[in-house]
Amino acid sequence: QKEVEQNSGPLSVPEGAIASLNCTYSDRVSQSFFWYRQYSGKSPELIMSIYSNGDKEDGRFTAQLNKASQYVSLLIRDSQPSDSATYLCAGWAIKAAGNKLTFGGGTRVLVKP
Amino acid sequence: SQTIHQWPATLVQPVGSPLSLECTVEGTSNPNLYWYRQAAGRGLQLLFYSVGIGQISSEVPQNLSASRPQDRQFILSSKKLLLSDSGFYLCAWKSSYEQYFGPGTRLTVT
């Protein structure tokens, strides 16, 4: 099992809908997680961090962490065409003493007007 | 506030030529620093990371090397570039719990 796994997509959602992205992780990843957004040709931008079980909301974004099931999700409400990007899930690798961030392969999101 | 700089932004180099990419961080001290490469349409590959001056951990054996001559400076080098070295090179730094990326250098080896 990979340390962090994501569905590569593309996830196509109509404008105004909710985009739901999922990420699963192994026991080799610590339970602090991050979502990055990467536009084509640009560097990844940190958009959400979640450290404890439950939900964390920031604007139109909600991150959810379920430690028992080992998954993290990101909800994008009222999706806009500007949300079209690749979203990367990441967590700190335990074996590297928290010094190395392990990334999933990314989920491409397409928001259609 | 913290800022991370990378240069150059784009680079076109012939096969067999040397490479030097530089990354500097402002507004923090003794950060963990990272070099990643992202090939076209692919995921992020960690190349090197550093927890302090002169301390380099290599993740992938290849013809690249890294150095950290100063606390907030991280350099990626190669003596002879290969076609497979083309990609988007990203420097990143770690705060207490979070990691932030620089703007990147797009390298094309011809």
In this structure, of A46-50, A73-77, A93-97, A104-108, the range with the lowest mean pLDDT score is A93-97
- Is A47 a residue whose pLDDT tops 90? yes
Best of B1, B44, B58, B106 to disrupt the A interface (most A CBs within 10 Å) is: B44
Q: A45 to chain B, minimum CA–CA distance in Å?
A: 7
Residue B33 near residue B74 (C-beta atoms within 8 A): yes
pLDDT bucket at A73, cuts 50 / 70 / 90: very high
Quick check: B46 and B56 in contact, CB under 8 A? no
- 3-class secondary structure per residue, chain A: CCCEEECCCCEEEECCCCEEEEEEECCCEEEEEEEEEECCCCCCEEEEEECCCEEEEECCEEEEEECCCCEEEEEECCCCHHHCEEEEEEEEEHHHCCCCEEECCCEEEEEEC
In this structure, of A83-87, A105-109, B60-64, B104-108, the range with the lowest mean pLDDT score is B60-64
Q: Average pLDDT in the B32-54 region?
A: 93
Each residue's pLDDT tens digit, B60-93? 867 899 999 999 999 999 999 999 999 999 999 9
Query: Any residues with CB less than 8 A from the CB of B108 and at least 6 apart, and which?
Result: B10, B11, B12, B13, B86
Q: What is the pLDDT of residue B2?
A: 83
Mutate to test the interface with B, among A32, A35, A43 (most CBs of B within 10 A): A43
* Per-residue model confidence (pLDDT) at position B109: 97
Q: Per mean pLDDT, which range of A1-5, A84-88, A106-110 is the poorest?
A: A1-5
Percentage of chain B modeled with pLDDT above 70: 99
